[in-house]
């Protein structure tokens, strides 16, 4: 019983569509498609920034921004891609252009400071950060402030900035590791050990923090590996690092034993540990 009604509706719809086609507003259609292209382009920009090979992303944003040089989002994409590709000098220049744009934000200035630090331009980075209003409180801003305070050996300020940065992120492992390394370089090995432990608790895949933890323990004469998740290869590498820490502390025999353990633990030939042990044994013989 429903078929005639459906057919009638379809026929009516067809005639209605045919009638509309006679008076299509082509400019309105173009505007609609332009809107779609902007959305698709935005999604593509995000993909290029996160998934793509960095150098491919650089090429993409160079083409896109040359076609529309006034768009700050494309300029940001190019600057970020250059930094991802480790082309830091070009990245600094690109972020400087972003900052000069009339629509630049304080977050762009933070990115410029980050690029300057990566390019080993610490004084310029400090100048850029100092010009940002104190009301701009973000994790990245305080992490960079802490790193600059570290470079100036202003330890109180560094600790304050690190603590603030940790409180502004849900993934503090990397900044805890940096803070711990700062303590390690100052000779505060116990504090460094605690910070590296916290970093691993937040991200147990962070091998750098595990290695630094071993160095902090070794510097205190504690040559027992910490109880943290580790693969067999990581265990071998950590034993090697602990052996080096022991030697540095003057406990050469202990260091040799740790390096032998590292060689035996590694599932393949452990070239670095073998060379270290050979060098130690040669020095002992001589």
Give the residue among 129, 121, 140, 228 at the shortest CA–CA distance from 178.
140
- Right CATH number for 137-216 from 3.30.450.40, 3.40.1740.10, 1.25.40.10, 3.40.50.10710? 1.25.40.10
The candidate with the shortest Cα–Cα distance to 77, out of 103, 35, 104, 46, is 46
Q: Can you count the helices (H) and strands (E) in the chain?
A: 15, 0
Q: How confident is the model at residue 284 (pLDDT cuts 50, 70, 90)?
A: low
**What would the two tokens of residue 236 be?**
């071998």
Backbone angles phi, psi at 220, to 5 degrees: -100, 5
CA 160 to chain centre: 22
Summarised one tens digit per residue, pLDDT across range 239-249 is 999 999 999 99
**Taking Cα atoms as reference points, which of 142, 82, 157 lies closest to residue 118?**
82
CA distance 65 to 78: 8
Q: Count other Cβ atoms within 10 Å, centred on residue 278.
A: 11
What is the residue-wise DSSP string for 27-68? HHHHHHHHHHHHHHHHHHHHHHHHTS-HHHHHHHHHHHHHHS
Indicate the range of 7-11, 53-57, 132-136, 193-197 predicted with least confidence: 7-11
How confident is the model over 227-277, as pLDDT tens digits? Answer: 999 999 999 999 999 999 999 999 999 999 999 999 999 999 999 999 999
**CA–CA distance, 239 with 241 (Å, rounded to integer):** 5
Tens of pLDDT along 119-161?
Answer: 999 999 999 999 999 999 999 999 999 999 999 999 999 999 9
Is there a contact between 82 and 119 (Cβ–Cβ < 8 Å)? no
Please give the model's pTM, rounded to 2 decimal places. 0.79
Instruction: With beta carbons less than 8 A apart as the criterion, state whether 141 and 110 touch.
Output: yes
């Amino acid at each position: 019983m429903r078929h005639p009604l459906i057919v009638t509706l379809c026929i009516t719809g067809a005639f209605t569509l045919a009638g509309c086609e006679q008076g299509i507003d082509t400019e309105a259609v173009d505007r609609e498609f332009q809107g779609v292209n902007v959305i698709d382009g935005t999604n593509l920009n995000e993909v290029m920034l996160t998934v793509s090979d960095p150098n491919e992303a650089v090429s993409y944003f160079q083409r896109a921004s040359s076609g529309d040089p006034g768009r700050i989002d494309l300029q940001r994409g190019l600057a970020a891609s250059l930094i991802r590709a480790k082309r830091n000098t070009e990245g600094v220049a690109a972020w400087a252009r972003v900052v000069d744009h009339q629509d630049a934000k304080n977050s762009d200035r933070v990115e410029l400071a980050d690029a300057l630090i990566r390019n080993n331009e610490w004084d310029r980075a400090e100048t850029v950060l100092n010009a940002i209003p104190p009301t701009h409180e973000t994790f990245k801003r305080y992490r960079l402030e802490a790193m600059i305070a570290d470079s100036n050996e202003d330890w109180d300020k560094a600790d304050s900035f690190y603590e603030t940065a940790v409180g502004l992120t849900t993934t503090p492992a990397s900044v805890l590791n940096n803070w711990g390394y700062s303590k390690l370089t100052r000779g505060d090995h116990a504090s460094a050990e605690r910070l590296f432990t916290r970093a691993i608790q937040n991200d147990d895949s962070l091998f750098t923090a595990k290695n630094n933890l071993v160095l902090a323990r070794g510097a205190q004469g504690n040559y027992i590996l910490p109880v943290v998740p580790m693969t067999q290869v990581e265990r071998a590498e950590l034993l090697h690092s602990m052996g080096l820490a022991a030697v540095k502390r003057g406990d050469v025999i202990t260091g040799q034993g740790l390096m032998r353990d590292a060689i035996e633990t590694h599932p393949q030939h452990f070239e670095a540990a073998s060379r270290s042990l050979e060098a130690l044994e040669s020095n002992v013989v001589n």
